[in-house]
Amino acid sequence: MDDSASPTLTLALLMVVVVAVQTFLRLFGVDPWTFALAWPLTERPWTLVTSVFAHAGFGHLLTNLVGLAILGLLLERRTSPIRFYTFFLATGIVAGVMQVTVATHVLGQPAAVLGASGAVFALFGYVLAGNRLTKAAASGISIRPRTQLLAIVTVAVVLTVVTAGQRDALIAHFTGLVLGIVAGRDHLLRPGQPEPTDRVGTDVPGR
């Protein structure tokens, strides 16, 4: 893939531009959290998208840029740009929706959410579940679907807690991680091509 067309770099640039716009608008009294997703979702539907790229500050942005750079550059070689963009945006939106929905209607603590953390955690989950070592280790184990689901949730809970920080959107992180693990297990980002049968671990970079 041509580096100049790298989906990872394009997404990173878009995140930087959006945060720059947030900072500029703040000079005119516009709260950066105007871009945030909050309940009710239908009141500002555009925030389903803006909340994925906007951030609470440059520190928040930098953290997600590092994660995106490391994980995105690994994954973008295995898929098409449209699949990569769709996966990133879709998981980011779903993670954000889960965060504000659970916080508002389950925990009774209405909250707004900003940032690409849910999407970055989805990339992490995909790498975790979709690599050759994981596939080779799991190939010889027969596990019922219910047990697989329990294992996925358990891994997601543990990793979410271990990587948690103050004021983190833990529900969004957890949701993104689960989505990524499920997608990685089924190799959803890989273009549809016949699977080689002459060796174990056939998720080959560049496919």
What local confidence, expressed as pLDDT, does residue 144 receive?
A: 57
Q: Rounded to whole angstroms, how far apart are CA atoms 54 and 79? A: 25
Question: Cβ-count burial of 53 within 10 angstroms (0-12 exposed, 13-18 middle, 19+ buried)?
Answer: buried
* Structural domain boundaries in the chain: 3-185
Above pLDDT 70, what percent of the chain?
A: 71
Does 159 score more than 60 pLDDT? no
Average pLDDT over residues 2-30: 88
Region of 115 (left: φ > 0; alpha: ψ -120 to 50; beta: rest) is: left
Q: Rounded to whole angstroms, how far apart are CA atoms 4 and 172? A: 31
Total-model pTM: 0.78
Q: What is the CATH architecture of 3-185?
A: Up-down Bundle (1.20)
SS3 5: helix
Q: Which residue has the higher pLDDT, 203 or 59?
A: 59
Tell me if 33 sits within 8 A of 74, measured CB to CB.
no
What local confidence, expressed as pLDDT, does residue 32 receive?
A: 82
What local confidence, expressed as pLDDT, does residue 152 receive?
A: 58
